[in-house]
Amino acid sequence: MGVFDNKPIFRSKSLIRHKFLVFALLWLAVLGSIILGAEISVYYSIFLGCLILGLVILFVVAIWSTGMYYPDTLEPAFVVSPSGGKILQKGQTVKMLSWNVQFMASNKNNHFFYDKGTDTFPKESVNLQIIEEVAKIIIEENPDILLLQEVDLNSQRTHFVNQLKVLREKLPASYQFYSSTPYFRVNYLPMRSMLGRLEMHLCTLSKYPINNALRHALPSKLNVSFLEQQFQLKRAILETNFPIESGQTLTVLNTHFSAFSKGTDTLDKQAQIAQKLLLKTGQFGPSVLVGDFNALCSPRFYEDVYPMDRHLYSKDYSPLEPLIKNFKMFPSEIEIAGPDHAKWLTHMSTADPTRTPHIALDFFFLTDHLKFKTHSVRQKDTQHISDHFPLVCEIEIPQK
């Protein structure tokens, strides 16, 4: 199914398994009610069983009618990679830029309901202006590989604009290779603050051909009710593989870990899956994991969190420890704690009226095959665009 297809995915094996489980449980409920009610009345137990059956069916139909996306553990991701492009070379320096663009909402009046704010979603003119600003920064930085999080496609909150399509139209034609996968898609979201269609993607764009792309599902359980959980983001890792002239592959993993998951082990599980995947892909060539991890790299930075946001983070440990211990990281804990710490911060709280950078939530992780040549956080002229700054780094493809 293409990235521009508005139809919900109904053929997921995991959804089919989910349906069978639901119907098995409801028939067990009917049987149980009949057995338990036998001493009272056969007619009463039949009525009770039918009532339970009707309520469960109503619930299933209600969820089904929203067109909620239930992905498989592993799925092919949408990819466009025309033939004839020049592939990566041995010893080549590759520039990457990663950015959570917050669905092009701007970093003004963006304290929305899910952050306990009262701001409404911006006008279409604001979204389009921010896309212009994002494109301008990308063109100036001129990365070889671009990794974006929180890109809306045909969502009601962003006026049904396909942000990936509009952005690509504003970028040079050299970014003809790209991949995209949803981590939220629903035809109708029955929430008072965000009614209607919503679709949000991880996107990877490149000047170099992509061999293939995969979507790896991540655990996404939050500390909410079963019903609310059905309408939470379906977190993922977007894997894109780039051929190298040596015959190896450069694997780039683009992700956005869960927010609002404190009180669960969701972030721990996400980091463990990311670690295993990066170790696995690293066996076949150089690999990079990048994105918004929604976690501090050390509890020593807990006091730096904006006070209204501290309930979101752990003050005892970092869920990212499996990644930090096994891979090179930027920005590193030493950089964030050092005398120039301010220039390595990547995130601003939307609850802070001053939009002052407080913490780092966005990182690059590299396997041993690769080394950082340069790296930076572009803060100087991007503070008004998103609640995250873009991260820019150059890595060197190994000679062999």
Query: How far is the CA of 350 from the CAs of 53, 203, 253, 307, 308, in angstroms?
Result: 44, 23, 27, 12, 10
**Per-residue model confidence (pLDDT) at position 112:** 81
- Radius of gyration in angstroms for the set of CA atoms belonging to the chain, rounded to a whole number: 23
Q: Are 391 and 343 in contact (CB under 8 A)?
A: no
133: left (phi over 0), alpha (psi -120 to 50) or beta: alpha
What's residue 90's pLDDT? 94
The pLDDT, as a whole number, for residue 222 is 85
Structure tokens at 60: 């299933």
Q: Regarding beta strands 347-348 and 357-359, do their DSSP bridges make them parallel or antiparallel, or are they unpaired?
A: antiparallel
pLDDT of residue 108: 93
- Give the pLDDT of the chain (400 residues) as one tens digit per residue: 333 333 333 334 444 444 444 555 555 555 555 555 555 566 666 676 777 777 666 655 555 556 678 899 999 999 999 998 999 999 999 999 999 999 999 999 888 877 778 888 999 999 999 999 999 999 999 999 999 999 999 999 999 999 999 999 999 999 999 999 999 998 877 765 566 889 999 999 999 999 999 999 999 988 877 777 777 889 999 999 999 998 999 999 999 999 989 889 999 999 999 999 999 999 989 999 999 999 999 999 999 999 999 999 999 999 999 999 999 999 999 999 999 999 999 999 999 999 999 999 999 999 998 989 999 999 999 999 999 999 999 999 998 7
Residue (of 255, 278, 248) closest to 201 by Cα position: 255
pTM here? 0.86
Q: What is the pLDDT of residue 228?
A: 77
Token code pair at residue 144:
């070889």
